[in-house]
Amino acid sequence: MSQTTGAENVIWDLSVFYSSPDDPAIQRDLADVQAQATRFAETYRGRVTSLSAAELAAALAELESIHEKIGKISSYAGLQWNTDTANPTLGALLQRVREADSQLDQTLLFFTLEWTQISDEGAKVADDPSLARYRHFLISQLRYRPHLRSEPEEKVIAEKAVTGRDAWVRFFMETSNAILFDWEGEKVPQSIVMRQLYATDREVRKRAADSITAGLRPNLRPLTYVFNTLLADKASDDRLRSYPTWITSRNLSNETNDEAVQALVDAVTSRYDIVSRYYTIKRRLLGVEELFDYDRYAALPGADKQHNWESARSIVLNAFGAFSPHMADVAREFFDKNWIHAPVSANKRGGAFASPTVPSAHPFVFVNYTGAVRDVMTLAHELGHGIHMYLSRPHGVFGAYTPLTTAEMASVFGEMLVFNDLMSRESDPAVRLSMLAGKLEDTFATVFRQISMNRFEHAIHTARRQEGELSTDRFIELWLESQRAMFGESVTLRDDYGIWWSYVPHFISTPGYVYAYAFGELLVLALFSKYKQEGEAFVPRYLDVLAAGGSDKPENILAKAGVDLTDPTFWQQGLQIIDDMVNDLEALTVQVP
């Protein structure tokens, strides 16, 4: 059984939304927001392209109010369900809200459809000062022109998504989160066993990997079917909307294009040699003849320190405060006001995330805290997200939320602050070596592993469209191909590792997401390099970038911090920094007996 950390009672307070899942205000608010949406449609249907600037601003303000109200309800239902995905009351609430949300979308979708039909000349109304708050939203919607369908067709798509794609995603999450794994004579959540992959004892790591495989294997048949169904659904949607590739819709959502993303993928895959070089070094440090998949995250001596919840809080706030007292003050609110859910528990969703909820409330952070150093880094990561979301709230529903690419910027930057703070306090070369190795492995997981998973996604979407329904063995084949390409000869991936694709939620819930992690990590390496060069002068510019949220194009926002996303050598700069970190690791190995 895992030891206590002090995080067991760190439960978020969702009363900013509702008092309980049975709160009658939920149903009342659902009815009220649908009535408001109906009145909105009666007022503006057929008029959107002819509205004056002042009228359009008034319409958008009301539309923003509607999205705030449904967002409040959806946030509450989703956050509650993630803490206990097997709870039928929470599941029923989530489904009820999703169905209501779908009806609301159908009532309102006329607005976007009409706006995107406006002429180029008419679209210049967005330049009016009265629409400054909404300009980027209005202009950015026009990029979807070629891919939107008629209102009746869009209504059918929205209606069927609730019992189609959305239902399969929920089934995947509930099935995955219900799996318990054998460990030390008990049935425990996956996060408990995953933690053992970092153990210094090789036999413990192997047993943990085997336990994960054994837990996943009985569910391969239904999970394979879910993957196939959602891959087919994505292909159908892309065909109906005339998207040329499986990733195009995600790239549009991220305010980038297929060519730019492919440049990122090509840059990262061209430097897989960095991964191979690192793991060759690690094999020597571990003193083994062959490095297996269960050895990838093996902790080096000095890396097994545990941190209770109070220690983690102190580490994160101190590191954030050294960079910016304001940043630490915002993070402190998450602890002091119970905006975090931290315990590990059965049926709780695995992993970690931050939710922006709605601008009129505040973000929440979700982690599964076990006390490991990586959990401290994860906490810093999610609080980075939380700070980003908190600072961007003044832009409202249509300007606060960032595309996925820049959404990872503040989270990874938060990790870097904590890592550098911890390194600056450590004098023992062995511990420093261990810490740098851990950081490199986290960086690899964020850059190289995520791009290798993007390659897996590309392979399965392509194969499903060309070959029809895929067998479990075909998924295994494509998974191992994509992973072995990254490691080369440095790590031996056993056949058992071939089924580990089956638990990754991003493939299911947010197709195409994963490259955003690599985008964010390489972006942060560039930002952190500027911080080290410029010192205090960089801080306010960085906070301005966070506060801008999604109110402008990513390249325009990041230009404030001196970053040129259009530079074709940009990704190579970040990759070179990672290569230099491996050089630093090699130098440290000389100092450690």
d(CA 364, CA 326): 18
DSSP string, 335-393: HHTT-EE----TTSPPS-EEE---TTS--EEE----SBHHHHHHHHHHHHHHHHHHHHG
Angstrom distance (rounded) from CA 324 to CA 319: 9
3-state helix, strand, coil in the chain (%, to 5): 70, 5, 25
Instruction: Give the closest residue to 370 by CA, choosing from 207, 215, 193.
Output: 193
pLDDT at 428: 83
pLDDT(586) > 80: yes
Q: Which token pair is 339?
A: 């905006």
Residue 303 has pLDDT above 70, yes or no: no
The confidence score (pLDDT) of residue 591 equals: 79
- 284 burial (CB, 10 Å; 0-12 / 13-18 / 19+) is exposed
CA neighbor of 438 nearest in space, from 102, 200, 84:
200
Calculate mean pLDDT across residues 452-464.
98
Which tokens go with 113?
A: 């459809």
Mode of pairing for the β-strands spanning 353-355 and 364-366: antiparallel
Nearest to 180 by CA among 223, 226, 137, 211: 211
Please report, rounded to a whole number, the percentage of residues in the chain having pLDDT higher than 70: 99
Say how many C-beta atoms besides its own lie within 10 A of residue 257's C-beta. 13
Alpha helices in 426-565 (DSSP H): 429-446, 448-467, 472-487, 506-509, 515-534, 538-548, 554-559
Contacts of residue 537, defined as CB under 8 A and 6 or more positions apart, other chains included, come to none
What single DSSP character describes residue 492? B
Which strand (E) or helix (H) includes residue 8? none
Burial class (CB in 10 A: 0-12, 13-18, 19+), 203: exposed
Stronger pLDDT, 564 or 121, i.e. the higher one: 121
* 221-280 residue pLDDT tens: 999 999 999 999 999 999 999 999 999 999 999 999 899 899 999 999 999 999 999 999
CB 510 within 8 A of CB 407: no
Give the torsion sign (CA, 537, 538, 539, 540). Answer: positive
**Mean predicted confidence (pLDDT) in 184-213:** 95
Radius of gyration of the CA atoms of the chain, in A: 24
Q: How far apart are CA 216 and CA 176, in angstroms?
A: 8
**Model pLDDT for residues 23-45, shown as the tens digit of each residue:** 999 999 999 999 999 999 999 99
- The model's confidence at residue 305, banded by pLDDT at 50, 70 and 90, is confident
Kindly indicate the confidence band of residue 304, based on its pLDDT and cuts at 50, 70 and 90.
low
pLDDT class of 593 with cuts at 50, 70, 90: low
By C-alpha distance, which of 506, 504, 525 is closest to 515?
506
What pLDDT is attached to residue 570?
84
Q: What pTM was estimated for this model as a whole?
A: 0.88
Contact 196, 428 (CB under 8 A): no
pLDDT at 326: 98
Q: Which residues pair with 292 in a beta bridge?
A: 492
Band (1; pLDDT cuts 50, 70, 90):
very low
Cα separation, 2 vs 8, whole angstroms: 11
Give the up-direction half-sphere exposure of residue 237: CA atoms within 13 A in the CB hemisphere: 21
Sheet containing 364-366: give its strands across.
Answer: 340-341, 364-366, 353-355
- What pLDDT was estimated at residue 424? 87
Counting every residue, how long is the chain? 593
Instruction: Indicate the average pLDDT of the chain.
Output: 95
The whole-number pLDDT of residue 3 equals 74
Contact 399, 549 (CB under 8 A): yes
End-to-end Cα distance, the chain: 34
Position 2 scores a pLDDT of: 52
For 351-386, what is each residue's pLDDT tens digit?
999 999 999 999 999 999 999 888 999 999 999 999
CA distance 507 to 501: 9
- For 495-519, b/e burial (b = at least 16 CB within 10 A) is ebbbbbbbbbbbbbeebbbbbbbbb
For residues 188 and 524, is the Cβ–Cβ distance under 8 A? Answer: no
User: How many angstroms separate the CA atoms of 452 and 338, rounded?
Assistant: 36
Instruction: Report d(CA 269, CA 101) in Å as an integer.
Output: 40
Q: Which H helix or E strand runs over 236?
A: helix 220-240
List the structure tokens of 109. 């979708």
Q: How many Cβ atoms sit within 10 Å of the Cβ of residue 46?
A: 9
What secondary structure letter does DSSP report for 187? Answer: E
Average pLDDT over residues 578-583: 95
pLDDT at residue number 244: 96
pLDDT digits (tens, 9 = 90+) for 390-446: 999 999 999 999 998 899 899 999 999 999 998 888 888 888 898 899 899 999 999
Distance between CA atoms of 45 and 30, rounded to whole angstroms? 22
Query: Which structure tokens are listed for 278?
Result: 């690192």
pLDDT at residue number 372: 85
pLDDT single digits (tens) 480-491: 999 999 999 999
Q: What is the pLDDT of residues 65-112, one digit of tens each?
A: 999 999 999 999 999 999 999 999 999 999 999 999 999 999 999 999
**Structural contact between residues 279 and 347, judged by C-beta atoms closer than 8 angstroms:** no
Between 125 and 530, residue with greater pLDDT = 125
Residue 160: how many other CB atoms lie within 10 Å:
14
**Rounded Cα distance, 241 and 230, in Å:** 16
Confirm or reject CATH 1.20.140.70 for domain 24-163, answering yes or no.
yes
pLDDT of residue 432: 86
